């Protein structure tokens, strides 16, 4: 029999960016909030003087323990899914701050096109442009409606950046100036301008200068230490939930965080949640936390999984296309880039930051004509300098032996003579790409794992080939002696790392028939359950997701406050 605790106003499942933002916004308005986080406590001091690539980047110190809980994957419904037993394609965060602690900090706003993707595609190219099984739909919100929330997220995090001429209109400039422009980034800029493209400095959560945010949180400037992606920041310069929103919530005295608390079910009577059931993983004790409002902020996979395990909402059925929980899983197309080798030039690659780079959007969204192309949407194209990590970075031209004297000579020669230009390609949802519960594999508690059914489509192959050509052209213009274009996209392979940008499963929209949550992320089928994260995205864009996910979190917090004030009902 589970121990039952006193009721609180709100219980949050997972304390990453989503959970931290919701907690700070609700506690500032006087609500009592409990945050249940399955991982451990984290603080900036944990990272003092530990630039240890093996520990963090290769042995995944900050990531979810896959021996206890993982995902299963299959490429299509006719094959059996197998569990991801070691990290590959994407990494999963755990612990206070979630993946927000070890992210890079690329902080984009999705394009206006993204939010109205179906209407705008049909308007410009006609219905026929959208393949029959591509399930893109409008998000039930426009960029203009979301703009104030983007601004709120950027001000809280202190995003460093400059105007992007091809993006949606901004109400205010970025709160801090762009990061430093390294020599290779100047080369990218000049080359892009010669081609009449529109480069801009990557919007960065690494902080170009010391900054105090509207909540009174002060942080130091980035030191370009280069140990950023997959690491926590020892200076507190990288915006993460632990150094921004969580302390704001804690200061109110109304936020209680319980770490080592694995939520296993959402408890509900009919369509109204009554709280959650969780296990204290240090003792094995089962505990019931009653609450008026339940907020899922446990990332794409567990947001979907908890709803399916709890039998809340209508599960998606790929055969009929009906149901919504698990629908529109999407990933990203990262294999559309190019590498340039420079015989007569060396670069200092050791200084870098998680979100130091230069980007262009001339081939992103619908910023270019797709009339004669066999794909929709596109990719952001960028050159970044995240720091040359000695174990993992070893660029050599194709044809170099992979071992021995010649490999060593080429490695030493090219370590500082290689630049890459990458493309982050949008991923469209298809009827047969979805999430559901695995019938075979279970976690350490005996609960079914979430199962991914996904593969790359012809749309993705066409997109990768197209963007790789553009990346190659840029490197030629930048003066590379040799350019390798990497635009061949095979079947999706879960083994090599690609992108931790999973989306969908609990998507937002204007109608309960086609979406799981409304544009305040309130469940259509359970009015006191809000589901926050990239799980709400109807498709994945040509950018990193967290800027958009952060904006939606602020919007959701506003919705929860409205719901709480009105004492019930749908806020839309």
Q: Which residues bind ligand FAD (CB under 6 A)?
A: 13-19, 36-39, 91, 93-95, 98-100, 102-106, 229-230, 261-263, 297-299, 302, 355, 500, 533-534, 544-546, 549
Applying CB under 6 A, among 87, 224, 430, 537 the residue interacting with ligand SF4 is: 224
Q: Does residue 225 interact with ligand SF4 by CB under 6 A?
A: yes
Closest separation between CB of residue 353 and ligand SF4, Å? 4
User: Is residue 278 classed exposed, middle or buried when 0-12, 13-18 and 19+ CB atoms within 10 A define those classes?
Assistant: buried
Residue 464 has a CB neighbour count (10 Å cut-off) of: 25
Report the residue from 15, 31, 191, 222 that binds ligand SF4 according to the rule CB under 6 A: 222
Compute the distance between CA of residue 334 and CA of residue 379 in angstroms, rounded to an integer.
9
* Residue 106 C-beta: closest distance to ligand FAD, Å: 4
Stretch that binds ligand SF4, among 177-185, 224-232, 331-339, 489-497 (CB under 6 A): 224-232
* Nearest distance from C-beta of residue 504 to ligand FAD, angstroms: 13
Contact stretch for ligand SF4 (CB under 6 A) within 26-34, 56-64, 223-231, 441-449: 223-231
CA-to-CA distance for 535 and 327, rounded, in angstroms?
A: 10
Closest to ligand FAD by CB, 137 or 382: 382
Characterize the bridge pairing of strands 8-13 and 286-296.
Answer: parallel
If contact means CB under 5 to 8 A according to the sort of partner, which of ligand SF4, ligand FAD, none does residue 464 touch? Answer: none
Q: Distance between CA 377 and CA 366 in Å, rounded?
A: 6
233 binds, among ligand SF4, ligand FAD, none (CB under 5 to 8 A by kind): ligand SF4
Q: Pick from 89, 206, 486, 553: which binds ligand SF4 (CB under 6 A)?
A: 206
> Cβ of residue 553: shortest distance to ligand SF4, in angstroms?
21
Per partner kind, with CB cut-offs from 5 to 8 A, the member of ligand SF4, ligand FAD, none near residue 237 is ligand SF4
Give the residue from 463, 450, 439, 570 showing the smallest Cα distance to 517: 570
Count of residues that interact with ligand SF4, criterion CB under 6 A: 14
Q: How many CB atoms lie within 10 A of CB 133?
A: 13
Both structure tokens of 407 = 């490999």
Question: Residues of 103-112 as b/e, b for ≥16 C-beta within 10 angstroms?
Answer: bbbbbbbbbb
C-alpha distances in Å from residue 351, one per residue of 59, 115, 348, 356, 389: 23, 36, 7, 10, 10
Distance CA 474, CA 466 (A): 13
Cα–Cα nearest to 484, from 421, 442, 423: 421
Q: Which does 135 bind (CB under 5 to 8 A by kind): ligand FAD, ligand SF4, none?
A: none
Determine contact, residues 199/206, Cβ cutoff 8 Å. no
What does each C-alpha distance from 572 to 179, 271, 465, 527 come to in angstroms?
Answer: 39, 17, 42, 11
Residue 294: its H or E element? strand 286-296
With respect to ligand SF4, which residue has the nearer C-beta, 111 or 228?
Answer: 228
Report DSSP state, residue 44: G
Closest to ligand SF4 by CB, 98 vs 505, is 98
- Residue 297, binding choice from ligand SF4, ligand FAD, none, Cβ under 5 to 8 Å by partner class: ligand FAD
* In the complex, minimum distance from the CB of residue 387 to ligand SF4, in angstroms, rounded to a whole number: 7
Q: Under 8 Å CB-to-CB from 343, ≥6 apart: which residues?
A: 417, 481, 482
- Please, which residue, 396 or 551, has the CB nearer to ligand FAD? 551
From the list ligand SF4, ligand FAD, none, partner contacted by residue 298 (C-beta under 5 to 8 A by kind):
ligand FAD
Binding characters for ligand SF4, 336-355, by CB under 6 A (x = yes): -----------------xx-
For ligand SF4, which residue of 228, 242, 338, 437 counts as binding (CB under 6 A)?
A: 228
237 interacts with ligand SF4 by CB under 6 A: yes
The set of residues, in sequence order, having a beta carbon less than 8 Å from that of 187 and lying 6+ positions away, is 419, 478, 479
Report residue 396: phi and psi, to 5°: -135, 150
From CA 467, how far away is CA 475, in angstroms rounded?
A: 13
Q: Which of 102, 268, 433, 501 is catalytic?
A: 501
CB atoms within 10 A of CB 128: 8
Q: How far is the CB of 63 from ligand SF4 (least distance, A)?
A: 17
Tell me phi and psi for residue 241, to 5 degrees.
-60, -30
Question: Which of 60, 125, 235, 368 contacts ligand SF4 by CB under 6 A?
Answer: 235
Other CB atoms within a 10 A radius of the CB of residue 185 amount to 23
Is 377 a residue of the active site? no
Nearer to ligand FAD, 453 or 544 (CB): 544
Q: Give me the sign of the Cα torsion angle 51, 57, 63, 69.
A: negative
Which of ligand SF4, ligand FAD, none binds 299 (CB below 5-8 Å, type-dependent)? Answer: ligand FAD
Distance, in Å, from the CA atom of 114 to the CA atom of 376, rounded to the nearest integer, reads 11
Nearer to ligand SF4, 72 or 206 (CB): 206
Cβ-based neighbour number of residue 458 at 10 Å: 11
353 binds, among ligand SF4, ligand FAD, none (CB under 5 to 8 A by kind): ligand SF4
Span from 146-154, 235-243, 247-255, 367-375 in contact with ligand SF4 (CB under 6 A): 235-243
Q: How many CA atoms lie within 13 Å of 277's alpha carbon, on the beta-carbon side?
A: 16
Of 38 and 564, which has the nearer Cβ to ligand FAD? 38
Question: Which of ligand FAD, ligand SF4, none does residue 263 bind (CB under 5 to 8 Å by kind)?
Answer: ligand FAD
Which of ligand FAD, ligand SF4, none lies near 225, with the C-beta cut-off 5 to 8 A by kind? ligand SF4
Token pair of 418, please? 């290689």
Closer residue to ligand SF4 (CB): 42 or 238:
238
The residues assigned a catalytic role are 501
Footprint of ligand SF4 (CB under 6 A): 206, 222-225, 227-228, 231, 233, 235, 237-238, 353-354
């Amino acid at each position: 029999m589970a121990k039952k605790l006193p009721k609180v106003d709100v219980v949050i499942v997972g304390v990453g960016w989503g959970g931290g933002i919701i907690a700070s916004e609700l506690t500032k308005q006087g609500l009592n909030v409990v945050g249940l986080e399955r991982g451990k406590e984290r603080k900036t001091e944990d990272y003092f003087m530990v630039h240890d690539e093996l520990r963090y980047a290769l042995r995944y110190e900050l990531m979810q323990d896959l021996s206890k809980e993982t995902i299963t994957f299959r490429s299509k419904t006719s094959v059996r899914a197998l569990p991801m037993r070691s990290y590959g394609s994407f990494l999963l965060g755990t612990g206070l701050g979630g993946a927000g602690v070890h992210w890079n900090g690329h902080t984009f706003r999705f394009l206006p096109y993204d939010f109205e993707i179906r209407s705008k595609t049909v308007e410009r190219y006609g219905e026929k442009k959208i393949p029959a099984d591509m399930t893109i739909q409008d998000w039930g919100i426009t960029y203009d409606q979301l703009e104030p929330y983007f601004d709120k997220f950027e001000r809280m995090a202190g995003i460093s950046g400059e105007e992007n001429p091809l993006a949606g209109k901004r109400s205010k400039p970025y709160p801090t100036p762009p990061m430093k422009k390294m020599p290779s980034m100047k080369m990218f800029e000049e080359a892009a301008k010669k081609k009449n493209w529109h480069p801009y400095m990557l919007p960065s959560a690494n902080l170009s200068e010391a900054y105090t945010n509207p909540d009174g949180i002060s942080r130091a400037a980035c030191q370009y230490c280069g140990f950023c992606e997959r690491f926590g920041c020892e200076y507190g310069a990288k915006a993460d939930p632990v150094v921004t929103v969580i302390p704001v919530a804690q200061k109110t005295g109304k936020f209680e965080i319980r770490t080592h608390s694995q939520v296993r079910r959402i408890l509900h009577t009919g369509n109204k949640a009554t709280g959650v059931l969780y296990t204290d993983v240090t003792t094995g004790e089962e505990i019931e936390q009653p609450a008026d409002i339940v907020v899922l902020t446990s990332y794409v996979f567990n947001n979907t999984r908890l709803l399916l395990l709890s039998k809340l909402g209508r599960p998606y059925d790929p055969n009929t296309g009906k149901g919504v929980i698990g629908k529109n899983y999407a990933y990203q197309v990262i294999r559309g880039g190019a590498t340039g080798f420079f015989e007569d030039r060396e670069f200092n690659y050791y200084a870098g930051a998680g979100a130091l780079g230069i980007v262009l959007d001339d081939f992103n969204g619908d910023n270019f004509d797709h009339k004669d192309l066999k794909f929709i949407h596109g990719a952001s194209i960028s050159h970044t300098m995240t720091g040359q990590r000695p174990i993992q970075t070893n660029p050599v031209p194709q044809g170099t032996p992979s071992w021995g004297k010649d490999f060593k000579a080429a490695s030493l020669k090219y370590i500082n003579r290689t630049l890459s230009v990458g493309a982050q390609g949008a991923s469209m949802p298809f009827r047969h790409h979805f999430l559901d519960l695995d019938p075979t594999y279970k976690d350490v508690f005996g609960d079914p794992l979430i199962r991914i059914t996904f593969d790359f489509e012809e749309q993705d192959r066409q997109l990768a080939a197209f963007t790789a050509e553009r990346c190659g052209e840029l490197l030629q213009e930048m003066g590379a002696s040799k350019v390798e274009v990497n635009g061949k996209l095979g079947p999706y392979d879960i083994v090599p790392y690609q992108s931790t940008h999973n989306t969908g499963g609990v998507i937002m929209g204007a109608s309960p028939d086609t979406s799981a949550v409304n544009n305040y992320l309130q469940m259509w089928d359970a009015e006191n359950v809000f589901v926050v994260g990239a799980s709400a995205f109807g498709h994945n864009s040509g950018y990193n997701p967290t800027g958009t996910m952060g904006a939606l979190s602020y919007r959701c917090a506003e919705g929860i406050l409205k719901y709480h004030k009105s004492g019930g009902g749908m806020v839309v």
